[in-house]
Amino acid sequence: MIKIQSITKSFHDRMILNDVSGTFEKGKPNLIIGASGTGKSVLLKCIVGLSKPDFGQVFYDGRDFYEGDRDLKIEIRREMGMLFQGGALFDSKTVEQNVMFPLDVLTKMSSEEKLDRVNFCLKRVGLENVNRKMPSEISGGMKKRVGIARAIVNNPNYLFCDEPNSGLDPQTSVLIDDLIQDISEEFDITTIVVTHDMNSVMGIGERIMFIFKGQKLWEGTKDNITHSNVKELDDFVFSNKVMSGLRGK
Amino acid sequence: MIAEIGKYFMFLGNLFVNREAFRTYYRLVMEECVSIGLGSLFLVALVATFMGAVTTVQTAFNMVSPLIPKFVISQVVREMTVLELAPTIIAIIFAGKVGSSMSGLLGTMRITEQIDALEVMGINSVSYLVLPKIIASILMYPMLVIVAGVCALLGGYIVGIFAEVITPNDYVVGLRYSFNPFTITFALIKSVVFAFLVSSISCYQGYYTHGGALEVGVSSTKAVTNSVIAILISDYLLAQLLLAQ
């Protein structure tokens, strides 16, 4: 479980996040949603430690990330996996080398063990026979899946996904969403997904946090998101024509 | 400016904290050595050969007095090559080729979140990405300087003979005449300092790239400009420290 408390962050006197608190549960995808520029990605960066908040705390199963020493930070980070918006695969490495990378650097596994683990993870995300391909030779959806395989290869306790569906067609988006949900449940991982895709929200939104102008305005599930009585959330949810049509009915 | 220098030194400090296992660095350093050393060999040899050739012709052109013996031409070529042309001019070429490439690579890694990916894995990205490049530069650049020196003297020899400005015998006599071995030591000291400056400044510029493709280009340009300035300043300081009587 990840708990955040009073996360506040400014850039050049501009408040990006204002006193955001919440809890992200284990074994299910926790969604952070909101329109572009509301601070979702900054919040995610504050949670994973890529951007230090001006104020606030992040607890990983009770361990305070920012108050801890360097060793604790490294220990927590080695329990993380992250899927970046663009995949963030290493251009100079093959798919296999990309997925194997955390094992190469962070473990003392033998070559056979590493290869087995890589093949298991690639198979788990539905990719086979792409081991020797370079990232430039595979599609956007495949890159995302390789990114997920790399994120889970080291058996993480925490999985972070930054806009996993951006730039993907609806079918591939659903596939990626389902994969994130399945992996979270199967491996009992605390997963945080940042998205503004309503299809994802309605598909895997078992726990949702809505951010508006840097503040948490609402928290709930996909079942009660359509009748939240929060105007800003309604505006966001029903800006989608399909959702708008549903409200009409 | 002062803040930037402070940030640069903090960046250097980060090279040595939270390092990975030795075997990781060994492999990375070897890969960088091949890329930096072999990758630059042709250009360095080409530039140095022509540099030596042109220096020979121009020195001969300026030797108008019949009282000055011909071997002075190769003596001048030797001193210029060893003291300045091989370590310093090749360092500027090195900054343009290797420095801009390092900066471009790290800049691209930064804007495509590859550096963030390393950090999230708990890997010190500065140490993992930059330290091998600096070590490989320090190992390979002095070797490139030696190659450049040999190529320049060889270029001067070939052109001197073909252009009939000096005989082979005079050229060799000039190379050996009044030779001070310390000039070689001085050139190698300079090459180590220049390699460190070029690689660290270029990596620094690339590592802190923000934005998109445009900024990657800006970082590469800055990397070369700042490296050249650092080379020239340190060249003067080293000459003053090590050669001044």
Find chain B residues with C-beta within 8 A of A88's C-beta: 112-114, 116-117
Q: Which of residues 54-73 of A touch B (CB under 8 A)?
A: 70, 73
Interchain contact, A160 vs B120, CB within 8 Å:
yes
Cβ distance of A82 and B120 shorter than 8 Å: yes
Find out whether B203 and B102 touch, Cβ atoms under 8 Å: yes
Mean pLDDT of A113-119: 93
Query: What confidence score (pLDDT) does residue A55 get?
Result: 92
In a domain? residue B11: no
Integer Cα distance of B156 and A142 in angstroms: 56
Closest partner CB to B120 (pick from A48, A85, A86): A48
In chain B, the percentage of residues whose pLDDT exceeds 90 is 83
Contact residues, chain B, for A81 at CB < 8 Å: 120
Q: Using an 8 Å Cβ cutoff, are A99 and A125 in contact?
A: no
For residue range B5-57, list pLDDT tens digits in order.
Answer: 999 999 999 888 877 778 888 999 999 999 999 999 999 999 999 999 999 99
Residues of A in contact with B123 (CB under 8 A): 105-106
Residues of chain B with C-beta less than 8 angstroms from the C-beta of A106: 121-123
**B17–A78 C-beta distance less than 8 A:** no
Q: Name the band, by pLDDT with cuts 50, 70 and 90, for residue A247.
A: low
Q: Is the dihedral of CA B148, B150, B151, B155 positive or negative?
A: positive
Domain span holding position B149? 21-242
8 A C-beta contact, residue A90 and residue B105: no
**What number of C-beta contacts closer than 8 Å exist between A and B?**
57
Residue A241's pLDDT band, with cuts at 50, 70 and 90, is low
Which chain B residue lies closest to A154 (C-alpha atoms)? B121
Q: Is B31 within a domain?
A: yes
Domains in chain B, number? 1
Residue B80, in any domain of the structure? yes
What's the rounded mean pLDDT across residues A34-47? 90
Q: Which of A73, A86, A105 sits opposite B123 (nearest CB)?
A: A105
pLDDT at B226: 95
Is residue B74 over pLDDT 60?
yes
Does position A249 have pLDDT exceeding 60, yes or no? no
Q: Which residue in A48, A88, A106 is closest to B112 by CB distance?
A: A88
Chain B residues near residue A77 by CB distance under 8 angstroms: 119-122
- How far apart are alpha carbons A159 and A243 in whole angstroms? 28
**A232: CB partners within 8 A, 6+ apart:** A210, A212, A217
Cβ neighbours of B14 in A, within 8 Å: none
Mean pLDDT to the nearest integer, B203-222:
94
Kindly state the average pLDDT of the residues B211-219.
93
In a domain, B13, yes or no: no
CB contact under 8 A, A85 and B113: yes
The dihedral sign for the CA sequence A116, A121, A127, A131: negative
B6 falls within a domain: no
Sheet holding A190-195, edge to edge: A80-83, A158-162, A190-195, A29-33, A207-212, A215-220
Check B122 against A74: CB less than 8 A apart: yes
- Spell out the domains of chain A, with CATH numbers in brackets: 2-79+159-248 (3.40.50.300), 90-155 (no CATH)
> B24 to chain A: nearest residue by CA?
A105
Interface pTM (ipTM) of the complex?
0.87
Contact flag A86-B112 (C-beta cutoff 8 Å): yes
DSSP collapsed to 3 states, chain A: CEEEEEEEEEECCEEEEEEEEEEECCCCEEEEECCCCCCHHHHHHHHHCCCCCCEEEEEECCEECCCCCHHHHHHHHCCEEEECCCCCCCCCCCHHHHHHHHHHHHCCCCHHHHHHHHHHHHHHCCCCCCCCCCHHHCCHHHHHHHHHHHHHCCCCCEEEEECCCCCCCHHHHHHHHHHHHHHHHHCCCEEEEEECCHHHHHHHCCEEEEEECCEEEEEECCCCHHHCCCHHHHHHHCCCHHHHHHHHC
* Alpha-carbon gap: A225 to the closest alpha carbon of chain B (Å): 31
Lookup result for tokens 């060994």: B26
Residue whose structure tokens are 């305005």: A217
- Give the C-alpha separation, A149 to B45, whole Å: 45
Least Cα separation, residue A226 to chain B (angstroms): 34
**Inter-chain touch B24–A85, beta carbons under 8 Å:** no
| Interval B107-143: pLDDT, tens | 999 999 999 999 998 889 999 999 999 999 999 999 9
